Amino acid sequence: MSTARTLWPCAALPNAPLAGLTNMKVGGAAEWLLEPATPEELRDAVGAARERGMVPRILGGGANLVVADGVLPGVVIGTSRMNMIMRPQAPDHGATEALDQGLDARVAPSPIAEDPRLACWAGVTMVGLVNRMRRLGLTGLEMLAGVPGHIGGGVAMNAGGRGWEVWSAVELVRLIDPDGTFRDLPREEASPSYRNGNLGEAVVAGVVLRFGTGSVKEVGERINEYMRAKNATQPVTAASAGCVFKNPDPDASGGLSAGQLVDACGLKGRRIGAAEVSERHANFIVNAGGATATEVLALMDLVRDEVASQRGVELEFEVKRWLPGAAG
Ligand code: EPU
């Protein structure tokens, strides 16, 4: 009988429950959950899944995602074990070398003011990244404070907010193409757009980020300020998948954001089962305790339909929805 160890090139779990690995805390199980610990294991995991005719779904940090109830056929790849943040060893190292050599602990990194870059594997949490920025006095992505998820997902979807986005700090992304090979994509050859890294079917293995330098105190204060603002306006302690919808083209929506449109339709507090449109920010659906994925997905559809019929605006999903059958 074949075992997980002989089938897959990294840690693997059959029939793995996914709800606890997502921020929405709903949904069923994956037929297989693979947990690579390095970019090479991730590449091999992607290759092994594809060899078996499966398109792997990348869980990342489980933010921005609703997993349907039931069993999800195929392979899900979690990146939690790939959480290395490295300082490049020399400013004259290109970004590719920074990712290759950053792990060699025998060589001290150059002073941060000379080379304010970080090389991150895909599973670095954005919270961990912000902590490192705080400690080193790095500036440029302070607005990631309190944003859940992994940097790999943040790059893939170009996480951001009003007036900022992750790609503003990207120097290079290391990708895994569908044929299971690495490809380094420099920023100038990429074309990220609002909430989309436009990376096609490629999987993010790592990224080199370039920051500005500032005083540790001031960077820390800015991070605290972003945290305060987020806490004041978003349901940060509730289980949710973050903003459900992308902000629409202002020309089509009369300048209103997705949250403002849902709010204007009187939908705050609307529930299906234990899924609820947040009272704090209408573009969030929260799990009020024990919700099912079916309830969450139905409420998302209801909100989209209401906004279309009341306001004539077709909102586009920002959250990924993993439904059995469709690759996400
Ligand atoms: N507003 C309402 N009612 C609501 C929610 C918001 O009137 O229920 C108003 C606010 O008072 C504010 C305006 O709408 O005047 C805009 O709200 P906010 O500043 O929260 O910005 P947003 O456009 O709703 C975007 C991102 C967020 C990100 C914030 C802050 C999108 C879809 N959302 O929200 O990203 O945290 O800016 O930078 O682009 C996410 O991607 O998961 C996410 C939460």
Sheet holding 57-60, edge to edge: 11-17, 29-35, 71-78, 57-60
| Digit-coded pLDDT (tens) for 152-187 | 999 999 998 878 999 999 999 999 999 889 999 999
Q: What one-character-per-residue DSSP string does 255-301 give? A: T--HHHHHHHTT-TT-EETTEEE-SS-TT-EEE-SS--HHHHHHHHH
| Digit-coded pLDDT (tens) for 187-208 | 999 999 999 999 999 999 999 9
* Residue 25: φ, ψ to 5°: 60, 40
Going by pLDDT thresholds of 50, 70 and 90, the confidence category of residue 97 is: confident
Residue 326 pLDDT > 60, yes or no? no
**Which residue, among 244, 214, 237, 229, has the nearest Cα to 163 in the 3D structure?**
229
Nearest CA to ligand 1 atom 36: 161
CA of 220 to the centre of ligand 1 (A): 23
Query: Which one-letter amino acid corresponds to residue 312?
Result: G
Which atom of ligand 1 is least distant from the CA of 143?
38
- Least reliable range by pLDDT among 51-65, 85-99, 295-309, 311-325: 85-99
Structure tokens at 269: 């507090």
- CATH code of the domain occupying 2-78: 3.30.43.10
CA of 306 to the centre of ligand 1 (A): 19
From 227, 253, 257, give the residue whose CB has the most ligand 1 atoms within 8 Å, as the site to mutate: 257
pTM of full prediction above 0.75 = yes
**Which residue, among 160, 130, 158, 135, has the nearest Cα to 146 in the 3D structure?**
130
Query: Which one-letter amino acid corresponds to residue 266?
Result: G
Q: Which residues contact 213 (CB under 8 A, 6 or more apart)?
A: 112, 113, 116, 137, 138, 139
Does 85-218 match 2-78 at the fold level?
Answer: no
Which atom of ligand 1 is least distant from the CA of 243?
42
Query: Which one-letter amino acid corresponds to residue 171?
Result: E
Nearest CA to ligand 1 atom 21: 162
For the stretch 250-265, what's the b/e string if a residue is b when 16 or more beta carbons lie within 10 angstroms of its beta carbon? eeebeebbbbebbbeb
Q: How far are the Cα atoms of 99, 100, 276 from residue 89, in angstroms, in the given order?
A: 10, 10, 48
Going by pLDDT thresholds of 50, 70 and 90, the confidence category of residue 254 is: very high
Tabulate helix, strand, coil % of the chain (nearest 5). 30, 25, 45
| Digit-coded pLDDT (tens) for 33-88 | 999 999 999 999 999 999 999 999 999 999 999 999 999 999 999 999 999 998 88
Domain extents in the chain: 2-78, 85-218, 235-319
- CATH code of the domain occupying 235-319: 3.90.78.10
pLDDT reported for residue 1:
47
CA of 287 to the centre of ligand 1 (A): 19
pLDDT reported for residue 302:
98
**Which residue, among 30, 23, 125, has the nearest Cα to 81 in the 3D structure?**
125
SS3 169: helix
Overall average pLDDT of the 292-321 stretch? 98
Structure tokens at 253: 């929506």
From 243, 268, 306, give the residue whose CB has the most ligand 1 atoms within 8 Å, as the site to mutate: 243
Query: Which one-letter amino acid corresponds to residue 252?
Result: A
pLDDT reported for residue 163:
86
Overall average pLDDT of the 6-16 stretch? 94
Residue 243 pLDDT > 90, yes or no? yes
SS3 313: coil
Domain 85-218: state its class.
alpha beta
